[in-house]
Chain A
Amino acid sequence: MLNAIWLAMMFLAVIVGVIQGRIDNVVRAITDSAKLGFEVSLGLAGIMALWLGIMNIASESGLVKRFARALQPLMRRLFPDIPVDDPAMGAMLLNIAANMLGLANAATPFGLQAMKELQRLNTHVHTASNSMCTFLAINTSSVQLIPATAIAFLAANGNLHPSSVIFSSLVATSVSTIVGITAVTQLAKLPIYRLKEADNL
């Protein structure tokens, strides 16, 4: 899918460039943008290193685990089918806590572990359980507290208060998470998404 979008973008640029008589600009943009891409990456490296360094202290000091424990009461309500002391719960908690702190690399292994544990509890081998869908909805609605990469780019491009987007992101991401969770509980009731007899194989 990304292949198609990428090709379409460049193809469209050439077509529109010819129609608008701006093909010279398009050609210049190719080399300029490639150069810019590299320069931007270098600017990013500093703040990314700082941020992940700080976050590694959070992991090693046990702060991430502590944070995960604080989320437990909420998780019990979101996943009524999963026993509280099940390993699935622990893996999901660590995944969501790591995601909230922007530790994407640490979040993925916990997430995959959580999926394996959820699959163990799943009675339909090839069909997603309600808990899986809820877990995925939380994951795909982005629960990040600090958009570190975005802040890094703003800072690198002359924004004096790059952290100003923390508040706006927090509002937007809260709304998207609430909508994601609401959607997942409501959509589960629709006939096309309901569990069927054929799933019990």
Chain B
Amino acid sequence: MIYFAGQLSNWIFIAFVVGIPLYGALKRIDVFDAFIVGAKQGFETSVSIIPYLIGMMVAIGMLRASGFFELVYLLLAPALSAIGMPAELLPLALIRPFSGSAATGVMAELIHQHGGNSFIAKTAATLMGSTETTFYVVAVYFGAVNIRRTRHAIPAGLLADLAGIITTVFICRYLFA
């Protein structure tokens, strides 16, 4: 099962990276030109998030150095171990609903500190992939059409995020621990 999951991940990735240009070529578009246009945007995006990354990585780095996570772990050990969540992932789960770029910064710090092959790194990566910036999306989308009473949009979004977090911890413990 774990082997299968790894292989499936590989082939999905290859299908995207090779399959999409192939499809583009069949549709007779200039695939390399199209690639360059998108790649420029990708580069600009990664440059534009540098300030967010630095701001968040400094804050998380300070917290880590202070011994904060050991303390949280001692205090919350029963609750966290009930769902099997490492204390290091708490800040990521808390920041995620507010800002995607800030959460990227927190994830980057975790992956760097623990190494790309660690359980925490892979769990952080999965968490980023399965949760969203709920408050930001709700504010921008409803703000654009001047909706004031958002009803159940935020609770539903947060419930989805919570489900994403719990499922992430479960599946990652099974696949990567």
Which A residues form the contact surface with B (CB < 8 A)?
A: 1-2, 5-6, 9-10, 12-17, 20, 22-23, 25-26, 28-30, 32-34, 36-38, 40-41, 44-45, 48-63, 104-105, 108, 111-112, 115-116, 118-119, 125-128, 132-133, 136-137, 139-142, 144-147, 149-151, 153-169, 171-173, 175-180, 183-184, 187-188, 190, 193, 195, 199
Contact = CB atoms under 8 A, between A and B. Distances in A.
A115 B164 contact: no
Contact of A13 (B62, B108, B133, B175): B62
Given A9-B63, A128-B150, A145-B12, A57 B21 contact: yes
B84 interface: no
Nearest to A175: B167
A105 to B, nearest CB: 7
Greatest chain B CB density within 10 A among A37, A50, A51, A183 is at A37
B128 A149 contact: yes
Contact of A54 (B35, B133, B164): B35
B16 A2 contact: no
Interface in B7-24: 8-10, 12-13, 16-17, 20-21, 23-24
Nearest to A199: B149
A168 B71 contact: no
Given A26-B65, A30-B61, A136-B153, A165 B125 contact: yes
Contact of A157 (B8, B13, B121, B156): B121
Interface of B: 5-6, 8-10, 12-13, 16-17, 20-21, 23-24, 27, 29, 31, 34-43, 45-47, 49-50, 53-68, 71, 91, 94-95, 98-100, 102, 104-105, 107-109, 111-112, 115-117, 121-122, 124-135, 137-138, 140-142, 144-153, 155-157, 159-164, 167-168, 171-172, 175-176
Contacts of A49: 39-40, 42-43, 46
